[in-house]
Structure 1
Amino acid sequence: MRKMLAGLHGHTRRQVRRLWLQYGILWSGAVITGLVAVLYARLIDYGFELFRDMQGDYRLFPLVLMPAVGALCVWATRRYFPGSEGSGIPQVIASLGEQGERTTRLAAALLTLRIVAGKIALSFLAILGGFTIGREGPTVQVGAALMYNMRRFYPRPSAILEKRLILAGAAAGLAAAFNTPLAGIVFAIEELSRSFEQRASGVVITTIIFAGVVALGLTGNYTYFGTLTASVDSARNVIVSVILCGLLMGGAGGFFCWLLLNMPKWIPSPLLELRARRPVAFGALCGLAVAVIGIAAGGATYGSGYAEARGLLTGQQELSGMYPLAKMASMVGSYLPGMPGGIFAPSLSIGAGFGNLLHMLFGDISPQILIALAMVGYLAAVTQSPITSFVIVMEMVNGHALVISLMATALLASRVSRFFAPPLYEALSERYAHAHHASQAPPQQAQAAHAAHAAAPVAELEPVHAHVTEAAVVPQSALQTTAVVPQVEPQAATTAAAPAEEAPKEAWTSTPPMQEPQDAPAQEAVAAPVETLPAQALNALPEEAQPVAAEAQVATPAAAPRPRQRRKHGVQAPLDKAQHAAPDSRPATMEEQSAPLQALEPQPQVVESPLPAAPEQGESDTPAQPRRAKRVYRQGDLFD
């Protein structure tokens, strides 16, 4: 009875552990992601309310507050939280774009819990200062980082599992930020993965469901911008609206991407130098510029622009026709110093401003339709993700009646934007990946690249194609002896000046010698063990060294080259016993001395797969099989 209970207890523990690995870790991470997304949204809203209160009481207070906040954010980002700058979506794409071991390294650098804390704290500080940033992009990185760190609970997490967790966390973060679960799924497919795996669908959908349930439980069922009540009055007006919004928003969004990706082309050189050498001062200067723009615009450009876009869409607020341009300038000024913050919500606000401007020019078209189409057009132009853009706006405004119009506008705007700049997130993610790989490169590679660059003029003067050591230059004629040494790798010369008496020594030895003093006499260099030299190599030696070299050549037998071990299908092939035989001690003949010269002639290299030698007596005829790897727990199969 006791044994039966013990066996039942062990079976129960195994089942509980299996369920925890299959579902518990994923569900727990999804719940945590939804909870953090809601709390982060409330924190950002609270910070902007505090700024509004301070700015309402003291109209010129942003001139002092914003430079200080900008400098503090840039300093803290560079000093304590590198990798948390910007929206966070390029970091997630860079982590997903790598393969194998690089995925783990890059994600471990860009998706840490420390970056999560820095992203939340610094974006709160930036919105407290009134900068034009959003919370949706940072929520994507926060969700991806939280789900990525859940891998610690798996016994042996694989790279595939880590990528699925990152993908699911990012999608859940966007869905919880906008309360748009369908947009989260589309965002994961179109923007993040670019190649959606079937097995990853269960992970993404499950994570979005649990994160969405948590968000709905804390905030209730709501639409981000309310409900679109306008109806389509005529097909002609809709077609004109789609064409206008698609072309104009595509150009405006593409120009914004060009500004962010080509800063050296339009920023003056003194400002670029200030940004590179004194980034904290540059952040303070950008904060001052954003404050001046906000004061000139009557305070409408501060913050993410959510209130302004919602007011324009519902018809409860009127803004100037210059609002979208001022908001775009404020957004560029907030993004240049590298403060943590997203561009989703500000882009929607800029699009709403352009829609309001189009309504001023074409009054016979419904303002709500123009604003909705302009919002989706500008967002699609900035992100160049048309499907994600129209799904987000459709769910935000509950505009299912405008599905076809939203799709057409998003597609047209994204295509027009590509004439100005490449996709913004992909271009920034490539920069993150290149910067991380450059920082992880060993110093030897950098030194080798520097040496190769320094030796480039020497290689042009006298091309050398044999391996040489430091402080040694091999004459071109002496290089013919390299045929005696097996497997000499071609390599460019690294130095140009060396004593002439050391060149024969490099040519005689079969292996590179240890570094010796450069002032050694020629007789000591020639006295080293030598191999068979052709006549051209002897003539290239100094006159005082030729007799000694000739004597050493006759006295020293030619060493047989070391046999090369060949491998076939991952299993080392047995070597012939004749290869291990001692070299012949007889003097080399003239035919053998001329063999190196014949070997220098260009011949096609044919790699043959030798048959294994006959097995020794007592050995089995069965070829050796590679050792079977230990079975790794496949967590990817758990989410089908």
Structure 2
Amino acid sequence: MVKTTGSGSRRRRIGRAPMVRRSRAMWMSKRLWRPRLVFWLGALAVGLVSVAFAEMADWAQRAFAAIRTGGTTGVLAALLVPPLGFALSSYLALRYFPNSQGSGIPQAIAARHFEGDEERGILLSLRVAAGKILLTLLGLLSGASIGREGPTVQVGAAIMLAAGRVGGMAHARGLILAGSAAGIAAAFNTPLAGIVFAIEEMGRAYEARTNGLVLSAVVLAGLASLALTGNYTYFGRSDAVVVSASGWVLTVACGVVGGALGALFSVAALGAMRRIRAWTRGRARRIVGIATLCGLVVALIGLASNGATYGTGYEEARSAVEGAPLPAFFFLAKFAAGLVSMISGIPGGIFAPSLSVGAGLGSTIGLVLGVGTGLAATLGMAGYFAGVVQAPMTAFVIILEMTGNQGNVVPIMLASLIGFGTARLVSGTPLYHSLSRNYVAEVLRQSRSEREGTAT
């Protein structure tokens, strides 16, 4: 019995030795580690690029503010710079950086529909990403009412797709999802919102096997952002909470009015862009002319609002969240400036301007109902943002993380849900997904023409 047991032990040790050697070989394998290392470096790059993009965006807005403040000369510059900047941005996007126009989120959504790397590369390449950053900065330098967060999604997706190509990773759709989530997380310093955004807005057909990619990309991009900027809340901190019946009335009002106004923005933008596409029919001169006219309108709105509607609207939204009331009609002026900037077709996002409109709307509703501005602005952002993007979970999480107000969870969630429900009654078409269909059709058309040209 003893000999048999000893013999069995030796056999087990002998059998275990090849398994250990195989395990060691596997863990030391270049084929195993190279994709992981490249993926991790790509996620860190998304965080670093996002922080650099944010710093350059702030500089561009300060530069435009310096240009337009200077007496008569400043007024003339504020009137001329936007149309000229819009025209230049539109021309450069058409000539050198096609598919960099607009927010960037529709391009990332559209890219996930394609199986071939060539088709995805038309929308998500490092060239397009570089153009996206440069032209968004040009738009901010020209006073456009745009943000950098949507562009960061396209940039992050392009970086991760390129990293996957270098590392030999096959999960292109998961990489796009991971890069998009990492971009949102690093842009707003909101890791949970990045994950929720990936599930709700980017991946309507979300696959559980991409969990690891998304989580690790968000963590690494977030670490890179934290290392450079520290832990901060995007709109400061607000301790305002709903404590009375008037607060719940405010919550419902912000949800209903914000959702309706947000849906109106989407409907107006989609309708105007559809008519512009039909009129321009791809003619560069007409497209640049539309952008120039939109730049002039943005300049006039900015002059009428004493400069309050230029840029992202970050400062106005932050001051409202911290309790300073905004002018009663600020939200209407910012709404118009954001809408015109979007339909101009220049590169730039709508996240930050939408949050600014929501903060202004909430501030005005709060003044009417006699409720504190900080609480009203926060709930207004939730209702309006959920109405624009029709993604209530993203709206709820992103605003909760940006304000650090853990005591206001239920009211923010309720305002987001009401805003979403109201928006669905007004318009059942989500903005980003509607725009993504245009990019899918354009890529298919381009691929078809290239195949026909090769065949002839």
Amino acid across the alignment from 1:427: S
- Which residue matches 1:324? 331
- Which residue matches 1:70? 86
Using the TM superposition, give the Cα deviation of residue 405 of structure 1 relative to its aligned residue in structure 2, in angstroms: 1.1
Highest CA radius of gyration, 1 or 2? 1
Check the 8 A contact 1:274/1:281 in 2, yes or no: no
Counterpart CA distance in 2 for 1:55 and 1:224 is: 26
* Partner of residue 444 from structure 2, selected from 437, 444, 449: 437
Q: Does 1:88 align with 2:129?
A: no
Using the TM superposition, give the Cα deviation of residue 239 of structure 1 relative to its aligned residue in structure 2, in angstroms: 2.2
Instruction: Describe the SS at the equivalent of 2:69.
Output: helix
Amino acid across the alignment from 2:384: Y
* Partner of residue 268 from structure 2, selected from 259, 271, 280: 259
- Which residue matches 1:517? none
Q: Does 1:283 align with 2:299?
A: no
Using the TM superposition, give the Cα deviation of residue 54 of structure 1 relative to its aligned residue in structure 2, in angstroms: 1.2
- Which residue matches 2:247? 238
Using the TM superposition, give the Cα deviation of residue 45 of structure 1 relative to its aligned residue in structure 2, in angstroms: 0.5
Check the 8 A contact 1:359/1:366 in 2, yes or no: yes
Count of residues in correspondence between the two structures: 427
Check the 8 A contact 1:275/1:282 in 2, yes or no: no
- Which residue matches 1:307? 315
Counterpart CA distance in 2 for 1:397 and 1:77 is: 35
Where in structure 2 are there 5+ consecutive unaligned residues?
A: 1-20
Instruction: Describe the SS at the equivalent of 2:152.
Output: helix
* Partner of residue 60 from structure 1, selected from 76, 79, 94: 76
Amino acid across the alignment from 2:141: L
* Partner of residue 40 from structure 1, selected from 53, 67, 78: 53
Amino acid across the alignment from 1:115: V
Aligned pairs (5 A) from 1:217-616: 217-234=227-244, 236-263=245-272, 278-316=286-324, 318-363=325-370, 365-421=371-427, 422-442=429-449
Q: 1:230 to 1:264 in 2, by over 3 A?
A: closer
List structure 1 segments (4+ residues) > 4 angstroms apart after TM superposition. Answer: 11-14, 264-267, 271-277, 442-446
Amino acid across the alignment from 2:229: T
Amino acid across the alignment from 2:98: P
Amino acid across the alignment from 1:261: L
Check the 8 A contact 1:242/1:373 in 2, yes or no: yes
Counterpart CA distance in 1 for 2:283 and 2:208 is: 45
Counterpart CA distance in 1 for 2:321 and 2:275 is: 34
Counterpart CA distance in 1 for 2:426 and 2:377 is: 23
Using the TM superposition, give the Cα deviation of residue 328 of structure 1 relative to its aligned residue in structure 2, in angstroms: 1.0
* CA offsets 1:435-465 (integer angstroms, 9 cap, x no match): 211222258989xxxxxxxxxxxxxxxxxxx
Name the one with the larger helix percent: 2
Amino acid across the alignment from 1:222: Y
Amino acid across the alignment from 1:166: I
Amino acid across the alignment from 1:112: S
- RMSD of aligned C-alpha atoms? 2.3
Identity %: 43
- Which residue matches 1:451? none
Aligned pairs (5 A) from 1:128-143: 128-143=141-156
Check the 8 A contact 1:347/1:379 in 2, yes or no: yes
Q: 1:320 to 1:254 in 2, by over 3 A?
A: same
Counterpart CA distance in 1 for 2:368 and 2:288 is: 42
Instruction: Answer with 248-257 or 191-200: which moved more.
Output: 191-200
Instruction: Describe the SS at the equivalent of 1:133.
Output: coil
Q: Does 1:201 align with 2:211?
A: yes
* CA offsets 1:544-573 (integer angstroms, 9 cap, x no match): xxxxxxxxxxxxxxxxxxxxxxxxxxxxxx
* CA offsets 1:15-68 (integer angstroms, 9 cap, x no match): 151442352122111111111110011010011011111111213311111111
Using the TM superposition, give the Cα deviation of residue 238 of structure 1 relative to its aligned residue in structure 2, in angstroms: 2.9
Using the TM superposition, give the Cα deviation of residue 315 of structure 1 relative to its aligned residue in structure 2, in angstroms: 2.4
Amino acid across the alignment from 1:407: M
Using the TM superposition, give the Cα deviation of residue 266 of structure 1 relative to its aligned residue in structure 2, in angstroms: 8.1
Q: 1:443 to 1:394 in 2, by over 3 A?
A: closer
Q: 1:19 to 1:68 in 2, by over 3 A?
A: same
Amino acid across the alignment from 1:300: A
Using the TM superposition, give the Cα deviation of residue 201 of structure 1 relative to its aligned residue in structure 2, in angstroms: 0.7
Amino acid across the alignment from 1:190: E
Check the 8 A contact 2:140/2:146 in 1, yes or no: yes
Check the 8 A contact 2:392/2:420 in 1, yes or no: yes
Q: Does 1:109 align with 2:116?
A: no
- Which residue matches 1:575? none
Using the TM superposition, give the Cα deviation of residue 368 of structure 1 relative to its aligned residue in structure 2, in angstroms: 1.5
Counterpart CA distance in 2 for 1:205 and 1:190 is: 15
Counterpart CA distance in 2 for 1:385 and 1:72 is: 33
Where in structure 1 are there 5+ consecutive unaligned residues?
A: 1-7, 447-640
Amino acid across the alignment from 1:328: F
Instruction: Describe the SS at the equivalent of 2:256.
Output: helix
Instruction: Describe the SS at the equivalent of 2:38.
Output: helix
Using the TM superposition, give the Cα deviation of residue 275 of structure 1 relative to its aligned residue in structure 2, in angstroms: 8.0
Check the 8 A contact 2:97/2:131 in 1, yes or no: yes
* Partner of residue 51 from structure 1, selected from 61, 64, 72: 64
